[in-house]
Structure 1
Amino acid sequence: MLAAGMALTLCALQLCPVALGGSQPPLLVERSGSRRLGKVGGFAWEDCGGGKDPVVLKSLSVAPDPISIPGSLRVSAAVSSSKAMASPLKAVLVVEKALGDLWIQLPCIDQLGSCTYNDVCTVLDNLIPPGTTCPEPLLTYGIPCHCPFKAGSYSLPASDFDLPDVELPAWMTNGNYRVRATVSSGGQELACVKLAFSLQSQ
């Protein structure tokens, strides 16, 4: 389930294309527990499932802060799931950007912003064709990259992901963002994560 969780997290960071892309081996201390999301200008996360969702994000660390594009993103995460997950898995993102003291919800444009992905499993299959070996570091740590996902606990030690030099739309450049990401299946919520982060394009 961590692969779907990682994909969801990176989609929430609006970095879906690198969710499971090429990466180099690890180096970072993982931080556990959530941080207050009211903060502006720093990374924070919260599992918003209220302890009722079958999938729980136990820990998440993202560096640097702010996230720099292009650059390298170090991510560590731990996820537990009490239920096996199968297609279709629907993901809904609500993305807000700070404009002064106001938070403005961004629309979904070209799969960026407040978007709905009707099946995360299909997204994963498009990134990594079925039958192909899972990329590093998922392969090393025994993390599956295709649906269905077995129930259990998965952990990704801090690993580096290269963020390509892509041209972001003007409304997705420098700034502070808040994201609420939920995953559901058949109308039942399976996971909920809130993120706060800053983006800095060079």
Structure 2
Amino acid sequence: MKPTLIYFNGLGRGEIIRFLLSYFEVDFEDIRINSIAELEKYKPDLLFGQVPQYKDCEIGNIVQTNAICRYIAEKYGVRGKDIVERAKIDEIFESTEDIYMAQYIAHRDGNAIEIEKICKILVPKYCAAWETILNKKSNGKYFFGDKATLADLSVFKTMNHLKVFDFKISTESYPKLNAMLADIGSQAQVQKYVHNCRITPLNF
């Protein structure tokens, strides 16, 4: 059975699932919802009446963005080697959600003051923390060695998300973080995803 993702045709919170599937070059059916009317058609089969929903031959249906991300990360070997590493990966993974939610609200409201705060205060704060982790814990180019994990991939997705929405950010002051992002961004499947990543207005 071909994996299936049901989600809005837009760059919402669940977009990271599309990125992860693209990163692992999974051939999946990408069902994109463009309106409330379309969403209503799927609701009877959605556990909590919400998207995203992911389906494959092993797990069947699974909902909730972070649960889906962790499942995909586990399936493709980037969830962490033990309980401690998984907890530390989650620490970074969850930190990206702080930025996403701030960005989402500021962009939705057209709040220029909050957008500036995100670019000048919030993002540098998190970049500095990620740089510290890379300096202290990593023996390779990623947070946990020479292989990208859910932590690295979620940070890349978050920073790219900000750029797509034209938030004026820079990682030049964080050399290890900048190098890690550049390494992920240089991969062919990531370049393809970034090239196709566009803001799509929704009829809601």
| Same structural fold, with TM-score higher than 0.5 when normalized by the shorter chain | no
Structure in which a larger fraction of residues adopt helix: 2
Higher Cα Rg, which structure: 2
Structure in which a larger fraction of residues adopt strand: 1
